Chain A
Amino acid sequence: MHDAVRLTTPLSREDVEKLRIGDRVLLSGIIYTARDAAHKRLVELLEAGESLPFDLEGQVIYYVGPSPAKPGRPIGAAGPTTSYRMDAYAPELIRQGLRGMIGKGARNDAVKAAMKEHKAVYFAAIGGAGALMAQSILSAEVIAYPELGPEAVRRLKVKDLPVIVANDCHGGDLYEEGVRKYARTA
């Protein structure tokens, strides 16, 4: 297996075009957190023609609702949540410049089409590996919707966050191709 690719945010179109499904990536830089409740609000802002709490261009959103931080730590456990709940909102954010998403589980056709058209990538993080993922998070700051608690939008500074390319911008889908490769017909 080849080595992991190191990438730093914001991601360029070229960064994304190089990625293929199955690639292991270590992500560094600034990323943003948002779950369903925050996505709903972000898309409502866009529909109302208002500006977002952060600029989407080239950015990566991590679908996570962390557990509370212990004293002296930036964040608690921080593994991904299931991505399909964000499928209704993701295409609009991709059209607005969002370049990457991190979550777990397959995406729907609308999200995949938007990724292909606008060159975005979907990374799978390891669901349930919250303690491990937290070790790559250097700092966390709530920048919007504090009232949503774990669902607030946070700006995270990450170093070598381990993820796998699950959907690339060329139409590849590891959830489909990986399973097909290992399925045994009875």
Chain B
Amino acid sequence: MREIHVDAIIAAVRDLCIRANTELGEDVLDAFRKALEREESPAGKDILKRLIQNAEIARTEGVPMCQDTGFAVIFVDMGQDVRIVGGGLREAVEEGVRQGYRDGYLRKSICHPFTRQNTGDNTPAILHLDIRPGDHFRITAAPKGGGSENMSRVTMLTPAVGVQGVKDFVVQRVKESGPNPCPPTIVGVGIGGTFETAALLAKKALLRPLGSLNPDPELAALEADWLEAVNSLGIGPQGLGGRITSLAVHIEMMPCHIASLPVAVNIQCHAARHKETEL
């Protein structure tokens, strides 16, 4: 049995929240640079250049790249041979988020659904736990902004619509989202499972590094085809017209019920933040 103290978890979560918000991944920066080569719209090019500058300023000055520092979505993948000591896992994650949002001068954006009263410390966090054999302990922090989350949807399609029906739903979603999710976006698609797993698959699809190929060749082909369709919409950077509406489409798929075809589209803005660490 490997023991991990909650203090280590708190410190790791705190750090990840700050770093995710201030250090944009190299994969995303690379995608901006490639997009800049292909963008034809003058406004679009200007925007992509400024996004690269923005990421550089955020990293060197240690300020968040975007003022919406998001809902703290935390993934914990742990081995079943790990024993957590000194307190509870969930409490440790919450405390890490609380400290990270305080110490990193991150915006607290979580409120009561009706009264809109702010909780004051950006908690609760969203915790997704995955337990498998082994003694690993991996934490991913993926702060998610409201603008792009608001444009995301889950639907239960009729199985008969098939691949074309799913593609139509995905492209339509990007079209209707227009400028609101801060394009260029990443489109996470979850297909299969149940209502709620489709949404989780879509979210997990966003964690895959940009520029990586889907290990399933059939899905890789769909990703390329759907990206092409999305980028034919003309929405462009910030929705002001252009070639690059999305940087990538990522698909995660699993089997579903014989009566169902659940599909979720989770839209990620260009502030595609996630950082991970192993304890």
Q: Which residues of A contact B (CB under 8 A)?
A: 1, 22, 24, 37, 64-70, 76-79, 81-82, 84, 104-106, 124, 126-132, 134-135, 149-150, 162, 164, 166, 174-175, 177-186
Q: Find chain B residues with CB under 8 A from A129 CB.
A: 50-51, 54, 65-66
**Complex CA–CA separation, A77 to B179 (angstroms):** 20
Which of B209-217, B236-244, B249-257 sits within the interface?
B236-244
Does B58 sit within 8 A of A, measured CB to CB? yes
Apart from the given pairs A22-B43, A64-B67, 10 other A-B contacts in the complex at a CB distance below 8 Å: A65-B67, A70-B62, A106-B178, A124-B240, A126-B50, A126-B51, A129-B51, A131-B57, A180-B241, A181-B234
Chain A residue with Cβ nearest B269 = A128
Q: How far is the CB of B69 from chain A (nearest CB, A)?
A: 6
- Helix, strand, loop or mixed for chain B's interface? loop
Measured between C-beta atoms, what is the minimum distance from A24 to chain B in Å? 7
B63's partner among A37, A76, A164 (CB-CB below 8 A) is: A76
On whether the beta carbons of A81 and B147 are closer than 8 Å, the reply is yes
Smallest CB gap from A65: residue in B: B67
Bound complex: CA of A134 vs CA of B64, how far in Å?
10
- Tell me if B47 is interfacial: C-beta within 8 Å of chain A: yes
Closest to B151 in A: A82
Q: Quick one: given A66-B107, A82-B147, are A130 and B238 in contact (CB under 8 Å)?
A: no
Nearest B residue to A70 by beta-carbon distance? Answer: B105
Contact of B41 among A68, A134, A182 (CB under 8 A): A182
B277 adjacent to chain A (CB < 8 Å): no
Is B271 on the interface with A (CB-CB < 8 A)? Answer: yes
B contact residues around A1 at 8 Å (CB): 42, 46
Residues of A within 8 Å of B239, CB to CB, are 105-106, 175, 178-179
Chain B residues with CB under 8 Å of A69's CB are 105
Kindly list the 3 A-B residue pairs having the minimum CB-CB distance in the complex, ordered from nearest: A178-B241, A183-B234, A182-B234
B178–A175 CB distance below 8 A: yes
Collect the chain B residues with CB atoms within 8 Å of residue A175's CB. 178-179, 239-241
A-B contact pairs, 18 of them (CB 8 A): A67-B63, A68-B106, A68-B107, A70-B105, A78-B67, A82-B180, A124-B240, A126-B238, A127-B179, A128-B66, A128-B269, A129-B51, A132-B54, A132-B57, A174-B241, A178-B242, A182-B241, A186-B229
**Hey, which chain B residues are within 8 Å of A178, CB to CB?**
41, 43, 234, 236, 239-242
* Interface residue? B118 (CB, 8 A): yes
Chain B contacts for A182, CB-based, 8 A? 40-41, 234, 236, 241-243
Question: Within 8 Å CB of B67, what residues of A?
Answer: 64-67, 76-79, 130, 150
